[in-house]
Chains A and B, each alone.
Chain A
Amino acid sequence: MRHFLALPAIIYLLVLFYLPFLITLLYSFGFPGFTLKHYSEILDPLYLKVFINSLILASITTVLCFILAYPLSYYIALKAGKWKNFLLLLVILPFWISFLLRTYAIMTLLTPLGLMFTFPAVVIGMVYDYLPFMILPLYASLERVGRSQIEASYVLGAKPSQTFLKITLPLSKSGIFAGVLLVFIPALGEFVVPTMLGGTYATIGTITWDLFLRYHNWWKGSALSVVYMALVLLAITIYIKRSERIEL
């Protein structure tokens, strides 16, 4: 019975995720009957626009998180010295507050700025919520680069800029990879932040929510979910395959 270690979690996931997903799959094909019409409806340009919206939002969020997180992670891992653990604590601290509460909190900050229910508000909120997911893997990979490889590069005659491009950046690739995955995927399906801060900015997440809970169209909502799952799976597969080729 060497499998019993994995059993509790597997049962948990089976009952609470894979079984419901099977039901979703059935609904998407018109349960209790069978039809493909819900899928054909999804091909509507309106939904394509929603997919593109989500893609744009997730991409911008990921890029901004990366731009903000990399220098900070670099600083914490290689320059902060004795302040390292304290700074890491500051990064993790927001996690102690519920995601929903944080989003409500940022509403009170955005309102006086007159930014509420705009696209920038959604982006600010997204970056706010996802930044730690980028910082932590980047920090972990930069920590492993270690100072001596960077110093070796200097001694061999590489200027700081050359050292960064040829040594530090390539060696932190695994962190970049993990950080991008951890931010991009949940950002793609995110619905709380766009709903609360964006008003009418429609993403896959908000539309799925609407279909299920406002219009009670479980069949169409299921079809949308399945298509979304398939697209994410495809995107991740391509991403992993490409990253393997560059070598981590």
Chain B
Amino acid sequence: MEGFAVELDGVSKSYSNFEAVRDIKLKIRRGEFFSILGPSGSGKTTILRLIAGLLYPDKGSIRLMGKDVTFVPAYKRNVGMVFQDLALFPHLNVFENVAYGLKVRKTPEEEIKRKVKECLEIVNLDPEKFGKRKINQLSGGQQQRVAIARALAIEPSVLLLDEPLGSLDLKLRQHMMSELKRIQKTVKTTFVYVTHDQSEALIMSDRIAVINQGSLEQIGTPAEIYENPATKFVAEFIGEMNFIPAEVYNGGLISEIGYIKVSNLNGAKRVLVAIRPEKIKIGCRNLDNVYNAVVEEVAYVGGFLSVKARINDFCLKCLTSSDLRVEENQKVELGWRADDAIIFEA
């Protein structure tokens, strides 16, 4: 489908004494799995609530499927939402929970039955077995599925998910991530997924918006955001990153670890050289930058070694294959290609 499911244009929202989101511009494509990623308190849940109509913006406008809904109340928007605490109705059984949105729309009984069955099947819950169950008779993962089915039953123009996996343990969370992806491919609805967990966002999303202190830092595909972070915040927030403060000297950079060759400088005088741990190669010489270092710490992280190495007094984190034999206090040569470093103004 062409066009955008959600458009935020210059949206700002303040609470009594602080600005929760500031001048947010977002265009979320139809059928896309879109994540809003940021630390807690960054305003990402506020954005979701603005889209749902549970809050109205102070400034800017919101469009859903091309229609202006800036001040349309939540119950007229036809969006689906999976709440952080799920917000299932404990006095209704599974069937009644999923049917709720259809019931209030006065959908015919037969149609409700068919639709609820279909939605429970999409989330892999047997309608026969679970339909009559009470919410408190379900496991955490099953409750999650009911919450998703309930939100999908009304055929929403967009499905909003507010950190729905936060309460699950690691194994179940990983499983639910692939389930969410599968469900999204099945129903082809636009998903807007709010999370503070970068791995959830990177794994599931088509595109990610990184939010910090109420402002948009960057929008891009997971690869773009990881490989080419637009700001220092994004570089630091997504994945691991080494930052080396440096000063421009003679077309190159001088820093605590010595001279650093880089591929492009943007004219700033003082800069930060950002380099990912996995881009630092240990025991490799034919690189643009090579340094003598001492291994401080080695930790085995399943298939990889996380190595802390010291160049002069500056510590760098490196990630390398565990085939490599390195030990603490060992002297090594390490380095990286000029292209692999990212330069930020200090």
Contact = CB atoms under 8 A, between A and B. Distances in A.
B149 to A, nearest CB: 12
Interface string B62-83: 0000000000011111111101
A33 interface: no
A166 B100 CA distance: 9
Classify the interface of chain A: helix, strand, loop or mixed: helix
29 contacts: A146-B85, A146-B87, A148-B85, A149-B87, A149-B88, A149-B89, A151-B52, A151-B54, A151-B74, A152-B81, A152-B83, A152-B87, A153-B104, A154-B53, A154-B73, A155-B52, A155-B53, A155-B74, A155-B75, A155-B77, A155-B81, A156-B151, A156-B154, A157-B104, A157-B105, A158-B75, A159-B75, A166-B100, A171-B91
Contacts of A146: 85, 87
Given A151-B54, A151-B74, A152-B81, A157 B87 contact: no
A156 B101 contact: yes
Classify the interface of chain B: helix, strand, loop or mixed: loop
Contacts of B105: 157
Interface of A: 146, 148-149, 151-160, 162-163, 166-167, 170-171, 173, 247
A171 B91 CA distance: 7
Interface in B242-279: none
A75 to B, nearest CB: 19
Contacts of B91: 170-171, 173, 247
A48 B56 CA distance: 60
Nearest to A150: B87
A148 B75 contact: no
B89 A155 contact: no
Nearest to A160: B75
A167 B104 CA distance: 12
B29 interface: no
A162 to B, nearest CB: 5
A170 B89 CA distance: 10
B150 interface: yes
Contact of A154 (B75, B84, B90): B75
Nearest to A148: B87
A157 B75 contact: yes
